[in-house]
Amino acid sequence: MNNHFDKVKWLNLTFYEQMGNIGSEVGRTMNAIKRNDPLALEGAYFRGLDLIDATADNITSLARRRELLRARELFSKSVESKIIDQKLDDYFMVFAVLARS
Protein backbone atom coordinates (compact mmCIF):
# COMPACT_ATOMS: atom_id res chain seq x y z
CA MET A 1 0.00 0.00 0.00
CA ASN A 2 1.31 3.43 -0.92
CA ASN A 3 1.15 6.67 1.04
CA HIS A 4 -1.86 8.04 -0.82
CA PHE A 5 -3.75 8.57 2.42
CA ASP A 6 -3.52 8.54 6.20
CA LYS A 7 -4.74 5.10 7.21
CA VAL A 8 -5.61 6.17 10.77
CA LYS A 9 -7.83 8.97 9.46
CA TRP A 10 -9.25 6.60 6.86
CA LEU A 11 -10.31 4.09 9.49
CA ASN A 12 -12.09 6.85 11.43
CA LEU A 13 -14.36 7.59 8.46
CA THR A 14 -17.75 5.91 8.25
CA PHE A 15 -18.19 3.12 5.75
CA TYR A 16 -20.28 5.44 3.57
CA GLU A 17 -17.58 8.11 3.65
CA GLN A 18 -14.94 5.55 2.70
CA MET A 19 -17.06 4.24 -0.17
CA GLY A 20 -17.81 7.78 -1.35
CA ASN A 21 -14.10 8.58 -1.42
CA ILE A 22 -13.40 5.36 -3.30
CA GLY A 23 -16.07 6.51 -5.72
CA SER A 24 -14.16 9.74 -6.30
CA GLU A 25 -11.14 7.76 -7.45
CA VAL A 26 -13.31 5.47 -9.57
CA GLY A 27 -14.83 8.57 -11.19
CA ARG A 28 -11.39 10.09 -11.79
CA THR A 29 -10.29 6.82 -13.35
CA MET A 30 -13.32 6.68 -15.65
CA ASN A 31 -12.73 10.31 -16.67
CA ALA A 32 -9.07 9.55 -17.41
CA ILE A 33 -10.15 6.65 -19.63
CA LYS A 34 -12.53 9.02 -21.43
CA ARG A 35 -9.77 11.62 -21.89
CA ASN A 36 -7.21 8.97 -22.86
CA ASP A 37 -4.89 10.28 -20.13
CA PRO A 38 -2.68 7.35 -19.07
CA LEU A 39 -0.84 9.25 -16.33
CA ALA A 40 -4.04 10.38 -14.59
CA LEU A 41 -5.52 6.93 -15.16
CA GLU A 42 -2.65 5.18 -13.43
CA GLY A 43 -2.67 7.52 -10.42
CA ALA A 44 -6.42 7.37 -9.85
CA TYR A 45 -6.54 3.63 -10.43
CA PHE A 46 -3.86 2.80 -7.88
CA ARG A 47 -5.26 5.25 -5.33
CA GLY A 48 -8.65 3.61 -5.81
CA LEU A 49 -7.22 0.13 -5.32
CA ASP A 50 -5.40 1.22 -2.17
CA LEU A 51 -8.59 2.69 -0.72
CA ILE A 52 -10.62 -0.39 -1.62
CA ASP A 53 -8.05 -2.66 -0.03
CA ALA A 54 -7.86 -0.57 3.16
CA THR A 55 -11.64 -0.66 3.45
CA ALA A 56 -11.95 -4.37 2.66
CA ASP A 57 -9.32 -5.20 5.28
CA ASN A 58 -11.52 -3.70 7.99
CA ILE A 59 -14.98 -4.88 6.99
CA THR A 60 -16.37 -7.44 9.40
CA SER A 61 -19.41 -8.35 7.30
CA LEU A 62 -18.53 -11.13 4.88
CA ALA A 63 -21.31 -10.11 2.47
CA ARG A 64 -20.20 -6.46 2.46
CA ARG A 65 -16.55 -7.47 1.93
CA ARG A 66 -17.53 -9.78 -0.93
CA GLU A 67 -19.52 -6.99 -2.56
CA LEU A 68 -16.63 -4.54 -2.28
CA LEU A 69 -14.13 -7.04 -3.67
CA ARG A 70 -16.49 -7.72 -6.58
CA ALA A 71 -16.58 -3.98 -7.25
CA ARG A 72 -12.75 -4.02 -7.14
CA GLU A 73 -12.73 -6.76 -9.74
CA LEU A 74 -15.09 -4.81 -12.03
CA PHE A 75 -12.98 -1.68 -11.51
CA SER A 76 -9.85 -3.55 -12.60
CA LYS A 77 -11.60 -5.06 -15.62
CA SER A 78 -12.77 -1.62 -16.69
CA VAL A 79 -9.24 -0.24 -16.50
CA GLU A 80 -7.70 -3.24 -18.27
CA SER A 81 -10.22 -3.04 -21.11
CA LYS A 82 -10.25 0.80 -21.14
CA ILE A 83 -14.06 0.63 -21.16
CA ILE A 84 -15.94 3.07 -18.95
CA ASP A 85 -18.22 1.26 -16.50
CA GLN A 86 -20.93 3.81 -15.78
CA LYS A 87 -22.81 1.38 -13.53
CA LEU A 88 -19.76 1.03 -11.30
CA ASP A 89 -19.38 4.80 -11.15
CA ASP A 90 -23.08 5.10 -10.25
CA TYR A 91 -22.76 2.37 -7.60
CA PHE A 92 -20.14 4.35 -5.70
CA MET A 93 -22.01 7.64 -6.18
CA VAL A 94 -24.85 6.27 -4.06
CA PHE A 95 -22.45 5.99 -1.13
CA ALA A 96 -21.18 9.54 -1.64
CA VAL A 97 -24.78 10.78 -1.47
CA LEU A 98 -25.45 8.69 1.67
CA ALA A 99 -22.30 10.03 3.33
CA ARG A 100 -23.47 13.60 2.74
CA SER A 101 -26.94 13.03 4.20
> Mean pLDDT over residues 8-33, rounded?
95
Q: What is the pLDDT of residue 100?
A: 86
pLDDT of residue 58: 93
* C-alpha–C-alpha distance, residues 88 and 71, integer Å: 7
The residues spanned by each domain of the chain are 13-100
Q: How far is CA 14 from the centre of its chain?
A: 15
Query: Average pLDDT for residues 41-60, to the nearest whole number?
Result: 96
Task: Please give the share of the chain, as a percent, with pLDDT higher than 90.
Answer: 84
pTM of the model: 0.91
> What is the DSSP-derived secondary structure letter of residue 24?
H
